[in-house]
């Protein structure tokens, strides 16, 4: 059981917009701790997609965006493309486990 809860799967057609939620608690996201998002394509290492809740590293398309409100965070992907089919993970920190990094359980995105 992950500290951060994500839906196991989401899907969308090419060109559509999808969102992936990441629900935490008052000891992590709700405590004001930042959320980062990673994309893991099959057979590859995770790649940082969003850091600090809503910042994109250079090279990440602006089709990807992040947001945070209360004890939850979201990743939005617009203009869905076949190459976006991957596993997506949120990551934060837990103040009850000082210094501990925590990941969500991961969400499999299927492009229909």
Partner 1 sequence: QVKLQESGPGLVKPSQTLSLTCTVSGASISGGDYYWSWIRRPPGKGLEWIGYIYYSGSTYYNPSLRSRTTISVDTSRNEFSLKLSSVTAADTAVYFCAGEMYDYKIQYSYGMDVWGQGTTVTVSS
With b for 16 or more beta-carbon neighbours within 10 A and e for fewer, the 60-95 pattern comes to beeebbbebeebbbbbebeebeeebebbbbbbbbbb
Provide, rounded to whole angstroms, the least separation between the CB of residue 77 and partner 1.
18
Min separation Cβ 14 and partner 1, Å: 26
In the bound state with partner 1, the residue whose beta carbon lies nearer, of 2 and 25, is 2
Residues that bind partner 1 (CB under 8 A): 2, 34, 36, 38, 40, 44-48, 50-52, 57, 87, 89, 91, 97-106
């Amino acid at each position: 059981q992950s500290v951060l809860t994500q839906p196991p799967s989401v899907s969308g057609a090419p060109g559509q917009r999808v969102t992936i939620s990441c629900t935490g608690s008052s000891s992590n996201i709700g405590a004001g701790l930042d959320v980062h998002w990673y994309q893991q394509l099959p057979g590859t290492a995770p790649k940082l997609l969003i850091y600090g809740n809503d910042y994109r590293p250079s090279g990440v398309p602006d089709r990807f965006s992040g947001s945070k409100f209360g004890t939850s965070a979201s990743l939005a992907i617009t203009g869905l493309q076949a190459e976006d089919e991957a596993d997506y993970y949120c990551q934060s920190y837990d103040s009850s486990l000082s210094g501990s990094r925590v990941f969500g359980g991961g969400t499999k995105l299927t492009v229909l």
